Amino acid sequence: MSEPASISLGIATRYATALFELAKEEGALTALETDTTALAEALAASADLRDVIASPVVSREDQGRAVAAIAAKMGLGPLMTNTLALMAEKRRLFVLPQLLSNLADQIAAEKGEVTAEVTAATALSAAQSKKLAETLKARVGKTVKLKTTVDESLIGGLVVKLGSTMIDTSVKAKLAALQNAMKEVG
């Protein structure tokens, strides 16, 4: 990991840990989870929001006004709103994506959940998602939340990342393995 990336991750981790501990003390973890999810979705959907938090050209005051307006519009709780205001004041909004990811991980750990990143060749039905989550739960012994994406280049099958474990049952991977085997023979 590069030095600037590790510094950003360190900043995000400190803010996330402080915010998580405050929410835990106040019994507001459910509200924090809702705010974290909503803010992550807003960041993913809005290039303008990503530009505002990352741009060194936008002043502290403008960043502060922008996140205050967004927090009010989204109905974010006081803990998240105050944290965003503090981050704007300290010019730390650029770590917001890492902060949200870290918060989601801490909340999931507190709830005894793990997140599996699933890449499928086609969109999974509700029944398929439920069966996959149950299968993974039996394997790891914790509730599994699925974060699903679609990649048609897989041709068929799934790629599942659960912690440090990766299970690749895609046709693309099987074809690549077959191609390597054929190279070795020929």
Residues 97-112: tens digit of each pLDDT: 999 999 999 999 999 9
Residues 52-88: tens digit of each pLDDT: 999 999 999 999 999 999 999 999 999 999 999 999 9
pLDDT band at 1 (very low <50, low <70, confident <90, very high): low
Residues 174 and 105 in one domain: no
pLDDT the model gives residue 186: 63
Domain count of the fold of the chain: 2
Domain span at 164: 113-185
Spatial separation of the C-alpha atoms in residues 6 and 25, rounded to whole Å: 28
Residues 105 and 14 in one domain: yes
Residues 118 and 177 in one domain: yes
